[in-house]
Amino acid sequence: MRDFYGVTLSNAMMLGTAGYPSPAVMEAAFRGSGAAVATVSLRREAGEGQGFWSIIRSLGVRILPNTAGCHSAHEAVTTARMARDLFETNWIKLEVIGHADTLQPDPFGLLQAAETLAADGFEVFPYTTEDQVLAQRLIEAGCRVLMPWGAPIGSGMGLMNRQGLRMLRAASPDVPMVIDAGLGLPSHAADAMEMGFDAVLLNSAVSQAGDPAAMARAFALAVQAGELARDADPMGVRDMAVPSTPLLGKAWL
């Protein structure tokens, strides 16, 4: 398991806290999956925030606050500072959204915000694309973890650009990377882990499932399977068939 800013997680699954049918179901999803990190946000206090916070604290997981919904570097930096004040962690999942339909990161705003926050002592988890140049610039800005998307947030499409992600992984083998967003099925998570990513972050795939607790467990098993498979050194792919059963000793019929 990789190191995320000096923290070794017990489980490579990070789970969001939004969109569950009830707080009890959310809690069951966390407990059933053993997810080690919970993402949370900041919104205007309207009476529900304090109760939500006590549930999250009782889970005993590490908190990763996000800057979801921010469309400019200034907005994201301000939100990150508010999150650090409230959640007392330097971790921040940095989202600077550039497009309303795809929720694709704005690479320019993202880099600007990452530079400011890293210089201010934050441990930035930038929500990015598979773009290698942007990844390199984020690393140079002080990011020691990257969070490339699998597909647009909430789409459930899985790994949209496997080749691009594979190249990103190969380009920076020592930088911990979390596939964040777009996963829909446990097989997508296993795929990401088999490809050498260090963790996955998901929310809708679990919270929108008919049985979120069961789906969370399924994802946890898939993540574990993918990780085991990667460490077991998978066989190479070939174009032609290679018989696995020995030909020697075959009867003459």
Partner 1 sequence: MRVEVNGTARDIAADTVQDALAELGWAEARVATALNGEFLPSTARATQPLRDGDRLEVLAPMQGG
49 annotated to a ligand binding site: no
DSSP 8-state secondary structure symbol assigned to residue 246: -
Annotation says 93 is catalytic:
yes
CA distances from 125 to 64, 76, 93 (A): 9, 13, 5
Q: What's phi and psi for 138, nearest 5 deg?
A: -65, -40
Total residue length of the chain: 253
Report the C-alpha gap between 83 and 62 in whole angstroms: 14
How many residues lie near partner 1 (CB under 8 A)?
35
Judged by CB under 8 A, the residue of 5, 53, 162, 166 near partner 1 is: 53
Interaction residues for partner 1, span 185-224 (CB under 8 A):
201, 203-204
**184 token code pair:** 């829909």
Q: Which of 61, 67, 84, 93 is catalytic?
A: 93
Which residue bears the tokens 């018989």? 243
The answer to the question of residue 119 lying near partner 1 (CB under 8 A) is: no
Interaction residues for partner 1, span 59-118 (CB under 8 A):
65-66, 68, 78, 81-83, 85-87
Q: Which stretch binds partner 1 (CB under 8 A): 35-43, 110-118, 144-152, 171-179?
A: 35-43
Q: Which amino acid is at 235?
A: M
Report the C-alpha gap between 153 and 203 in whole angstroms: 9
Q: Binding site: residue ranges?
A: 154, 181-182, 203-204
Q: Which residues are at the interface with partner 1 (CB under 8 A)?
A: 16-20, 39-46, 48-50, 52-53, 56, 65-66, 68, 78, 81-83, 85-87, 153-154, 181, 201, 203-204
Catalytic (active-site) positions:
93
